[in-house]
Copies of this chain bind each other. A is one copy, B any other.
Amino acid sequence: MSLNTFGHLFRVTTWGESHGPAIGATVDGCPPGVPVSAAALQVWLDRRRPGTSRFMTQRREPDAVEILSGVFEGVSTGTPIQLLIRNTDQRSKDYGDIAGKFRPGHADITYWQKYGIRDYRGGGRSSARETAARVAAGGVARAVLEQLAPGLTITGYMVRMGSKAIDRARFDLSEVPNNPFWLPDAEAVGEWADYLDTIRKAGSSVGAMVELRASGVPAGLGAPVYGKLDTDLAAACMSINAVKGVEIGEGMDAAMLTGEANADEIFMGPDGPVYSSNHAGGILGGISTGQDVVVRFAVKPTSSILTPRRTITKSGEETTIVTRGRHDPCVGIRAVPVGEAMMACVLLDHILLDRAQMGETRPGRIGPEHT
11 inter-chain pairs at a CB distance below 8 angstroms, sorted by A residue, are A3-B29, A23-B69, A110-B289, A207-B256, A207-B257, A226-B235, A245-B247, A245-B252, A259-B303, A268-B317, A315-B368
Q: How far is the CA of A276 from the CA of B310 in the complex (A)?
A: 9
B residues near A253, Cβ cutoff 8 Å: 245, 298
B residues near A246, Cβ cutoff 8 Å: 234, 238, 245-247
Q: Is A312 close to B, CB under 8 A?
A: yes
B359 and A204 contact, CB distance less than 8 A: no
B112 and A364 contact, CB distance less than 8 A: yes
Question: Interface-forming stretch among A48-56, A174-182, A184-192, A349-357?
Answer: A349-357
A262 and B227 contact, CB distance less than 8 A: no
B residues near A6, Cβ cutoff 8 Å: 226
A260 and B3 contact, CB distance less than 8 A: no
B266 and A220 contact, CB distance less than 8 A: no
Q: How far is the CA of A290 from the CA of B353 in the complex (A)?
A: 25
B358 and A360 contact, CB distance less than 8 A: no
Nearest to A29 among chain B residues (CB) is: B3
Q: How far is the CB of A263 from chain B (nearest CB, A)?
A: 4
B1 and A227 contact, CB distance less than 8 A: yes
Indicate how many identical chains form the complex: 4
Out of B11, B114, B208, B219, which one reaches A5, CB within 8 Å? B11
A355 and B359 contact, CB distance less than 8 A: yes
B80 and A13 contact, CB distance less than 8 A: yes
Q: Is A79 close to B, CB under 8 A?
A: yes
Q: How far is the CB of A338 from chain B (nearest CB, A)?
A: 12
Q: How far is the CA of A84 from the CA of B83 in the complex (A)?
A: 12
Nearest to A354 among chain B residues (CB) is: B114
Q: Enumerate A255-291 residues with CB–CB distance to B below 8 Å.
A: 255-268, 273, 276, 279-281, 283-290
Q: How far is the CA of A327 from the CA of B267 in the complex (A)?
A: 25
Q: Is A332 close to B, CB under 8 A?
A: yes
B9 and A356 contact, CB distance less than 8 A: yes
A105 and B267 contact, CB distance less than 8 A: no
B residues near A258, Cβ cutoff 8 Å: 162, 199, 204-207, 301
Q: How far is the CA of A220 from the CA of B13 in the complex (A)?
A: 22
A31 and B359 contact, CB distance less than 8 A: yes
A273 and B227 contact, CB distance less than 8 A: no
Contacts A105-B262, A124-B79 given; does A162 touch B69 at CB 8 Å: no
6 nearest A-B pairs in the assembled complex, by CB-CB distance = A107-B285, A116-B363, A245-B247, A356-B356, A110-B287, A205-B259
